[in-house]
Amino acid sequence: MAARNLLLLSNSTVHGSGYLEWAQEHIKDFLMRRSVRRVLFVPYALRDMDSYTEKAAKKFTAWGFELTSIHQASDPITAVRGAEAIFVGGGNTFQLLKALYNHQLLDPIRHRVLKEGAPYIGSSAGTNVATTSINTTNDMPIVHPPSFNALSLVPININPHYIDANPANTHMGETREERIMQYHELPDVPPVLALREGSLLKVEGDLATLQGLYAARLFVRGKQPEEFAVNSDLSFLLK
C-alpha cells in the first residue's frame, strides 16, 4: 500500500475570513511538497456545481494550482484515475455520498488514494466521506444514498463543525456531545474525532496529526471524551 496523504478539514470557512483562508498554508504546503500542479475538484455536495467550481478554482489558481471539476469530465472514473490530487468540497454529505455511489467512484477514489498515494483533501462533507461512514454528519438526509458506508480512508468517523455545549444556552435539544454519545450506544462502532471549526487532521502514511487553530475532542465507545491539543499525535487512531 502506498502512503496515505490526507488533509481532512472540519470546514472551509471560519468566522471573519474568506473561503479556505484559514487552511491555505496547510493546503499549499500539502500539495507543493508532493509536486502537485493539478487538482481534481469534487463538487457533488452542492447543486450549483458550476458556481462552486468557479469559487474553488479562483482560490486554487491564486495559489498556483490548476483546478478542474469532475462534474465537467466526460468520464468521472477516468478523471479520478488520472488525478494528481483530489479535493472533495463541503455541502450536504448525503447528496455527496449518493453522487459518489451513482457515479461508481468509491472504489476508484479509494484505489487512487490508498494504493497509489494520490493526495486527498476533504472539507466538511468531503471529510465525512473520507471516514468509515457518514453516520456522524450534522447534515439533513435530503437524499438517500444506497448505504452510509463511505471511503474508509481512515478507520474512524469524524464530526466536523463540532460545537461545544454552552451552559448559558436555554435550548433543550441534544448537544453535539450527547448525539455522539448516543451513536456510541450502538455496538461495534468506531471512535469519533470531533473537529471544531478551524481544525484538521493530517494523515501521512501511518502518522496522523491534529493541526489548525483549535483542539479536538475524541469520543471512544465506553470512555469519557478526551481533549487533544493542536499538534497532538493521533496516529493510534489509524491502527
- Read off the CATH number of the domain in which 74 is found: 3.40.50.880
Quickly state the pLDDT bin for 92 (edges 50, 70, 90).
Answer: very high
- Element (H or E) spanning 216, and its range? strand 216-219
Sheet holding 226-228, edge to edge: 157-162, 192-196, 216-219, 226-228
pLDDT given at position 2 = 64
Domain count, the chain: 1
- Per annotation, catalytic residue among 26, 71, 152, 161: 161
pLDDT given at position 173 = 67
pLDDT of 111 strictly over 70: yes
Quickly state the pLDDT bin for 167 (edges 50, 70, 90).
Answer: confident
- Per annotation, catalytic residue among 12, 124, 133, 199: 124
Quickly state the pLDDT bin for 82 (edges 50, 70, 90).
Answer: very high
Q: What is the mean pLDDT of residues 165-189?
A: 86
pLDDT of 172 strictly over 70: no
15 is catalytic: no
124 is catalytic: yes
71 is catalytic: no
pLDDT given at position 106 = 98
What range does the domain containing 35 cover? 5-238
Q: What share of the chain is helix, strand, coil (3-state, %, to 5)?
A: 30, 25, 50
- Per annotation, catalytic residue among 12, 69, 139, 199: 139
